[in-house]
A and B are shown apart, each in its own frame.
Chain A
Amino acid sequence: MEPPALIEINGLTKTYETRTVVKDVSFRCEPGTVTGFLGPNGAGKSTTLKMLCGLVRPSAGHAQVLGQPYASLANPGLRVGILIDAAAQHAGRRGAEALSIAAQTLRVPRTRVAEMLALVGLDDVAGRRRIGQYSLGMRQRLGIALALLGDPEVLVLDEPANGLDPEGIRWMRELLRGFAGRGGTVLLSSHLLNEVEAVADRLVVIASGEIVATGTSQELRGENVAGSAVKLADGAEQAELLCQELTRSGVVFRSSDDGGLLVEAPAAEVGRAALRAGVAISSLGPVSVGASLEQVFLELTGSSNGKEENR
């Protein structure tokens, strides 16, 4: 029997009037892990996370945290730290005051407020300033302080790296790794692959409201990446011959930007196909790793810029 997942999302669906923004989304987050919830803007990440913490009603499906629906946890802020929208703070309220109110609601000691401000790198002066004067990065830090206030076991963070500078992103990465290292469970969303890849144990990729891939970054690369990039010595005619041969052997491929082919097969297999087709190869090798996960992501989510704008 599997241990209970700390976050369990099961068939979540959200339909507004005629528009389905989240469609049958399911995944689990295990204790001691960081799960990256990855997808382009408007893919349904926020709506999914809002359904998880009871802010949005699912049209179908259900979500549980710590074995219960979030809203039925006794004092949920002490068990699950949530940051949904860092900008959603009263502009006329002071940073420390916003934390104090939450501390009262959660019934944690006042001293937690100063501790959390220090932890996220906001000093006394910043704490006394009104949130309207905060940069987005400072609001993110305040939001993370708010999420950590109740010393929770689970963290759910929506786009926490938005507005953070590179130093801030590294700080947050270490914070989340430390949190998971102590047995905590983290679910964080992002629209930027490299933000998440470095910190997440597992990736859940969502596009247009549907989960398109789940797994470690290695698994995602292995499953979807064209294994080899190949270039031919001579022109288009030769390429056509190789394409025919590859099609015959049932290998998936497509043309790459530089005029070659990206083939979902190991280099040796491509070499043999070229031999059978009788074409000369000028270069053949595995696709470089970093770029290819980016490609996988873009391909999975279909988020080339033009497409995004046309939606």
Chain B
Amino acid sequence: MSAMGAEAELQARADEIPAAAGIFKLTRIELRKMTDTRSGFWLPIATAAISLLVAILTLTLRHGNFGTYSHVFANSTQPLVFLLPIMGVLLVCSEWSQHTTLITFVLTPRRWRVIAAKALACVFVSIAALVFCLIVTFVLTPIISKAPGGTGSLPLAMVGQGWVALCTRMLIGFAFGTAILASSPAVVVYLLLPTVWAALLAAIPGLDPIARWISTDQTLEPLLQHTLSATEWVHFATTVGLWVLVPLLIGAWRIRESDL
């Protein structure tokens, strides 16, 4: 066989090969990988159960105006606000702790595609979380609510902001995981940073104006409380830039450069 012939044959074989999985296919695979392990299976179930429990407790134990759709919705998102970031951390870090990066990046050598697929998976999980909260809210509230002023209504804007809050929280966890690439340190840093920041705020006078822009508890909490003003959206965007984009860029660069 001549060299030309062999090369032509290789080319012919290459031409009939199906293209690599697209970004949405990869996202579906990432979603599957999140739930097909033992821990991956129980974490979302536990998260949902806690969220449900909190909603029920809010409705049965607290009196006054807590039985409105708005309050039940806001409360049902609280456990998710806490647990989705952890799922975000694990989405990246479990690949490193379990060494599955070897397989993942052998099958998809363009590593940024995997990172993008994981980020998209976060978005889909936050949508699923939102749907879950809505179902909990609209099924439970009419049944158990004891609110004297009636159950009120849930403005669409608040639903939208609720999703933004869930999605942002999960992406922050994901971004921290991407930058740190080890579950425990990433979770610890994620949980500790706001506390350290709060301590700094208390200790150093004059930090308040900055806090309005970058403190997650000041910029993200309002999403679940009231319709945001334009200024508040700007503050929110700054927070996202600092807590999502910066660590994500650091992480993406690290992953691209790293030897596995």
Contact = CB atoms under 8 A, between A and B. Distances in A.
Interface in A1-30: 1-4
A56 B259 contact: yes
Interface stretch (B99-107, B217-225, B238-246): B99-107
Contacts of B106: 53-55, 76-77, 82, 84
A171 B130 CA distance: 52
Nearest to B18: A107
A82 B1 CA distance: 27
Nearest to B37: A92
A66 to B, nearest CB: 6
B36 A101 contact: yes
Nearest to B97: A90
A76 B19 contact: no
A88 B100 contact: yes
Nearest to B99: A88
Interface in A67-93: 67, 70-71, 73-79, 82, 84-85, 87-93
Contacts of B7: 4, 67
Contacts of A85: 99, 102
Nearest to A58: B259
A112 interface: no
A55 B259 contact: yes
A305 interface: no
A104 interface: yes
Main secondary structure of the interface of A (DSSP, over half): loop
Contacts of A146: 103
Contact of A101 (B2, B14, B29, B260): B29
Nearest to B1: A3
A7 to B, nearest CB: 13
Contacts of A130: 38
A55 B109 CA distance: 8
Nearest to A14: B259
Contact of B109 (A54, A79, A91, A106): A54
B2 to A, nearest CB: 7
A73 to B, nearest CB: 8
Given A70-B109, A102-B107, A105-B26, A55 B102 contact: yes
B20 interface: yes
Contact of A3 (B3, B28, B101): B3
Contacts of A2: 3
A93 B37 contact: yes
Interface in B1-48: 1-3, 6-7, 10, 13-14, 17-21, 25-26, 28-29, 32-33, 36-40
Contact of A74 (B20, B39, B40, B100): B20
A92 B6 contact: no
A104 B259 contact: no
B78 interface: no
A130 B38 CA distance: 9
Contacts of A67: 7, 10
For chain B, the bracket of interface size reads 35 or more
B153 interface: no
Interface in B206-225: none
A237 to B, nearest CB: 58
B94 interface: yes
A173 interface: no
B36 A97 contact: yes
A210 interface: no
A50 interface: yes
A88 B18 contact: no
Contact of A89 (B39, B98, B259): B98
B108 interface: yes
Contact of A78 (B18, B108, B110): B18
Contacts of B99: 85, 87-89
A170 interface: no
Nearest to B28: A104
Contact of A71 (B6, B40, B94, B110): B110
Contact of A54 (B17, B20, B105): B105
A106 to B, nearest CB: 7
Contacts of B21: 75, 104-107
B83 to A, nearest CB: 18
Contacts of B17: 74-75, 78-79
Nearest to B260: A55
9 contacts: A50-B259, A55-B106, A66-B14, A75-B20, A88-B103, A90-B100, A101-B32, A105-B29, A107-B19
Given A88-B98, A91-B98, 11 more contacts: A75-B17, A75-B18, A75-B20, A76-B106, A78-B18, A93-B36, A102-B103, A102-B107, A104-B21, A130-B38, A153-B13
Interface of A: 1-4, 31, 50, 53-57, 66-67, 70-71, 73-79, 82, 84-85, 87-94, 97-98, 101-102, 104-107, 130, 146, 153
CB-CB nearest 9 A-B residue pairs: A88-B99, A71-B109, A92-B37, A92-B38, A56-B259, A75-B20, A90-B98, A55-B260, A1-B3
Interface of B: 1-3, 6-7, 10, 13-14, 17-21, 25-26, 28-29, 32-33, 36-40, 94, 98-103, 105-110, 257, 259-260
